[in-house]
């Protein structure tokens, strides 16, 4: 609508009437354009979800925001880490981007230490936690793995990958370590509150029970800190999930720093953690992971990062034990 379109074409009107008509038209123009801009913005906000095949499965609040907030320890290559430009990359970000196309939303990764992620879900700092987190019964039930006592509400998991745990040492200095029983009398560096940390504590108890040398455990906030401790000879060995260990062995120091010793153990599923009361989001994520698997994009992602051995074919809920 324009001011000229409201003017009457008759030349006999006086100037006062013409001015009045122009003023009214101008007011209508401003009002009309303002409404149209508002409506257009509203439509564009829904554009991404409107064409996404699984958008209607998401909670409405997340659809409205267009964002899933992801808590993650972004120092665990190749699962999630910062590249040389500072961008968050890895298996999890790639999978999240693929899921985002299915759901019509963006997954925004927010960095935190691993041991704070489940607490961040409880306080609603994040919508999900996606950080190479092993799906275990203790985490599902909110139980402390050391004491067996209830410490929280627990979480649900959408499983998306399988990984075992590996041991690795400084290259050329394996100190005769081939199995976990060889760790008695040694010092292990490990990331705090990970599945590797749990296994290390179990092995330390076994060494004590068997009357062998004590396994000393030094835990750190991040895996790179554990590796640095070993590089400085402060620890004999590091334990981490196999994809992380393999990536470090291949890339750290151009492949000159570390070597894997023995076989991986205790293979279990990685899961996307969701608060127990957020079942709609959990089910939407399950559908999205399955859709990415079925489309073939999942296969491309795991092959890109050299972890095809951990691929799954079915996205389960709480498949860990």
pTM above 0.85, yes or no: no
DSSP line for 82-120: E-TTS-EESHHHHHHHHHHHHHT-EEEEEE--GGGHHHH
Asked if pLDDT for residue 25 goes beyond 50, the answer is no
Task: Give residue 35's pLDDT.
Answer: 40
Give the integer Cα–Cα distance in Å for 28 and 5: 12
Q: Which of 224, 161, 232 is nearest to 191 (CA)?
A: 224
Task: Give residue 48's pLDDT.
Answer: 55
Give the integer Cα–Cα distance in Å for 14 and 17: 6
Give the integer Cα–Cα distance in Å for 21 and 4: 9
Beta strands in 150-246 (DSSP E): 155-170, 187-191, 216-220, 237-241
| DSSP character at residue 123 | T
Let me know how long the chain is: 321
Model confidence pLDDT, tens digit, residues 55-113 = 999 999 999 999 999 999 999 999 999 999 999 999 999 999 999 999 999 999 999 99
Give the residue carrying structure tokens 């303002």.
34
Q: Which of 174, 155, 54, 175 is nearest to 103 (CA)?
A: 54
**Exposed/middle/buried for residue 46 (C-beta within 10 Å: 0-12, 13-18, 19+):** middle
Asked if pLDDT for residue 287 goes beyond 90, the answer is yes
């Amino acid at each position: 609508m324009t001011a000229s379109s409201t003017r009457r074409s008759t030349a006999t009107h006086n100037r006062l009437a013409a001015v009045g008509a122009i003023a009214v038209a101008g007011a209508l123009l401003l009002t009309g354009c303002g409404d149209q801009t508002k409506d257009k913005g509203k439509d564009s906000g829904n554009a991404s979800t409107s064409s996404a095949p699984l958008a209607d499965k998401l909670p409405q609040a997340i659809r409205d925001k267009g964002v899933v907030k992801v808590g993650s320890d972004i120092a665990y290559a190749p699962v999630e880490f910062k590249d040389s430009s500072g961008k968050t990359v890895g298996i999890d970000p790639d999978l999240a981007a693929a899921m985002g196309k299915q759901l019509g939303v963006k997954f925004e990764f927010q960095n935190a230490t691993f041991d704070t992620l489940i607490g961040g879900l409880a306080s609603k700092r994040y919508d999900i936690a996606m950080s190479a987190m092993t799906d275990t019964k203790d985490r599902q039930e909110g139980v402390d793995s050391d004491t067996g006592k209830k410490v929280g509400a627990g979480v649900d998991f959408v499983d998306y990958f399988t990984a075992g745990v590996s041991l690795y040492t400084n290259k050329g200095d394996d100190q005769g370590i081939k199995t976990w029983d060889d760790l008695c009398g040694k010092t292990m560096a490990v990331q705090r509150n990970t599945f590797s940390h749990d296994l290390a504590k179990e092995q330390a108890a076994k060494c004590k029970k068997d009357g062998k040398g004590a396994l000393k455990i030094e835990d750190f906030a991040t895996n790179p800190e554990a590796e640095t401790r070993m590089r400085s000879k402060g620890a004999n060995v590091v334990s981490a999930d196999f994809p992380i260990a393999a990536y470090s062995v291949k890339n750290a120091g151009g492949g000159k720093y570390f070597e894997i010793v023995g076989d991986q153990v205790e293979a279990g599923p990685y899961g996307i953690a969701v608060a127990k009361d957020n079942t709609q989001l959990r089910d939407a994520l399950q559908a999205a992971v399955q859709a990415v698997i079925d489309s073939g994009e999942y296969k491309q992602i795991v092959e890109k990062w050299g972890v095809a051995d951990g691929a799954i074919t079915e996205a389960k809920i709480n498949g860990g034990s």
